[in-house]
Amino acid sequence: MELTGSQLIGDTFSNTGSQSFTGFNPVTGQPLPTIFYEATGEEIDRAVALADQAFLQYRKIRGTDKAIFLETIAEELLELGPTLIETASLETALPETRITGERGRTVGQLRLFAGLLRDGKWENEITDPAQPERQPLPKPALRQVQIPIGPVVVFGASNFPLAFSVAGGDTVSALAAGCPVVFKAHPAHPATCELVGRAMLRAAAKTGMPNGVFSMVHGASYEVGMRLVQHPLIKAVGFTGSFRGGKALFDLAVRRPEPIPVYAEMGSTNPVFFLPRALQKNATALAQAFANAVTMGTGQFCTNPGLFVTLQSDKSFANQIAENLNNISVGAMLTSGIRQAFLNGIDHLKTQEGITSLTAAPTEAVAPTLLLTTAARAIAEPGVTEEVFGPSTVGIIAEDKTSVLAFAKSLKGHLTATIHGTNEDLEEYKELIDILTLKVGRLVFNGFPTGVEVSPAMVHGGPFPATTDARSTSVGTTAIYRFTRPVCFQDMPAVLQEEKW
């Protein structure tokens, strides 16, 4: 299939702009051949206006028909075969095996939401029957239903070119809710975006969905995303990416004349607490498994364990982790910008007072890195617990249990936290569980946070600054409620009850 580099505005291709860019091969640093055109203001407005028009029809479509649409997207993705896998791998330097796994997850997610729509229970209809005889006033019949909120703009992240991109979790949950989507393509994998975007449009056409239910615009500058978020017809934003990007778009959205919700899933350092008896039993295996988790995918996961905590008496465990890290080689990073940000981040951390490096810290080349400090220092300088996106981790040495708890209390919001402990450890550290429950979206016991299961009970979210709205998840079926709102019908005549409103 020949790529066009165009905006996909409903079922038409458009490239009226003069600004262009290309993708890059992260391994060679060389530009890739397709020229992509940045969307103009007029193209963005056209995509949003079409989404608004499509909303009138799409919001009325029954769950079973939306389910067929989502399943057809899944089929169209699989239909792209090796072209999709090779293109995504070329643009991101992620191995083809990883991309194949990610496609499986993306397809599985589409089917999971299709199942949710068929089942229909997610709509959580609540009815309060009328009590006409009630004194002193009769009680009306009340019926609460969930309705979609309107056109949604979605931003994807560079590190998940399929699962958190064009047909990823935000798009699928918005479409399942009944909201058309305008997707801002990620400039780090624009060809992958076009392949998937066109697959979505084929699925929309095959299943009779209204034109404009999905559109996609390109942009290598922030203007495209900013204009989308500020557009008066956009009713919500789904974002996955950096803290800087998510917070900037959140600030923009709340300053609009009509503020709208922004569900920004941002970076996190995902602290892992190693309790003493677990280390007595299993330090060697845990050190290896932890080093593997830190370096998986060159450390480019939002759930990467970028922080760990041990007691002073177990300090040698940090050396064990460092030895493992020194023996692991990592692949190229996703973009030259991310690579530079990693090197700068490590440089900055190294210059902080009270930080030592247990690995051969990287200078020019990206390498697994372990920096060490004390709990007291980390409490005084919370900057050391902030995300450096890549294969690095900061070890926190705590003098005693009180110091472990004080450090946990000082943490800001994270996507996950993990505790390694025996039953006796967990009994002794119950207070730690209480503290961490208030800090994260997911608390992992005796495992690693890196993998995120796509399943109804999953929470991939957490308090700020991990996200801009801790009341929601971006993974799992309850992600749908980000894009609906409740409405109550009072004394609605029976003749209207069967219709979809």
- Per this entry, what is the length of the chain? 501
Question: How many of the other CB atoms lie within 10 Å of CB of 119?
Answer: 12
- Token readout for 250 is 């959140």
Amino acid identity of 501? W
**Which of 69, 155, 250, 448: binder of ligand NAP (CB under 6 A)?**
155
CB of 370 to ligand NAP, least distance (A): 19
Number of residues that bind ligand NAP (CB under 6 A): 30
The answer to whether 368 touches 291, Cβ cutoff 8 Å, is yes
Nearest to ligand NAP of 231, 460 (CB atom): 460
The answer to whether 42 touches 50, Cβ cutoff 8 Å, is no
Does residue 17 sit in helix, strand or coil?
Answer: coil
Nearest to ligand NAP of 248, 283 (CB atom): 248
Q: Does 474 bind ligand NAP (CB under 6 A)?
A: yes
The answer to whether 400 touches 311, Cβ cutoff 8 Å, is yes
CA 331 to chain centre: 22
* Catalytic option among 71, 76, 265, 386: 265
Nearest to ligand NAP of 241, 421 (CB atom): 241
Question: What residues numbered 81-140 form the site for ligand NAP, per CB under 6 A?
Answer: none
Q: Does 338 bind ligand NAP (CB under 6 A)?
A: yes
Nearest to ligand NAP of 341, 376 (CB atom): 341
Question: What residues numbered 156-175 form the site for ligand NAP, per CB under 6 A?
Answer: 157-160, 164
Told to judge if 399 belongs to the known catalytic residues of this protein, a careful annotator would answer no
Nearest to ligand NAP of 303, 403 (CB atom): 303
Nearest to ligand NAP of 158, 211 (CB atom): 158
Q: How far apart are CA 90 and CA 87, in angstroms?
A: 5
CB of 283 to ligand NAP, least distance (A): 28
Told to judge if 302 belongs to the known catalytic residues of this protein, a careful annotator would answer yes
Which segments of 232-315 does DSSP mark as H helices, in order? 243-254, 276-295
Q: Does 405 bind ligand NAP (CB under 6 A)?
A: no
Does residue 265 sit in helix, strand or coil?
Answer: strand
Question: What residues numbered 363-402 form the site for ligand NAP, per CB under 6 A?
Answer: 387, 389
**Alpha carbons within 13 A on the beta-carbon side of 210:** 19
Question: What residues numbered 248-277 form the site for ligand NAP, per CB under 6 A?
Answer: 248-249, 265-267
* Catalytic option among 302, 424, 427, 499: 302
Q: Is 9 left (phi over 0), alpha (psi -120 to 50) or beta?
A: beta
Nearest to ligand NAP of 199, 220 (CB atom): 220
CB of 216 to ligand NAP, least distance (A): 11
Q: How far apart are CA 368 and CA 364, in angstroms?
A: 13
Q: Does 283 bind ligand NAP (CB under 6 A)?
A: no
Sign of the alpha-carbon dihedral angle for 191, 194, 199, 202 = negative
Query: 291: which residues sit within 8 A by CB, 6+ positions away?
Result: 321, 324, 325, 328, 368
Q: Does 332 bind ligand NAP (CB under 6 A)?
A: no
Q: Does 242 bind ligand NAP (CB under 6 A)?
A: yes
**Which of 240, 373, 385, 450: binder of ligand NAP (CB under 6 A)?**
240
Q: How far apart are CA 360 and CA 363, in angstroms?
A: 9
Q: Name the residues annotated as catalytic.
A: 265, 302
Which residues sit at the interface with ligand NAP, rule CB under 6 A?
A: 155, 157-160, 164, 184, 186-187, 219-220, 222, 225-226, 240-242, 245, 248-249, 265-267, 302, 338, 387, 389, 415, 460, 474
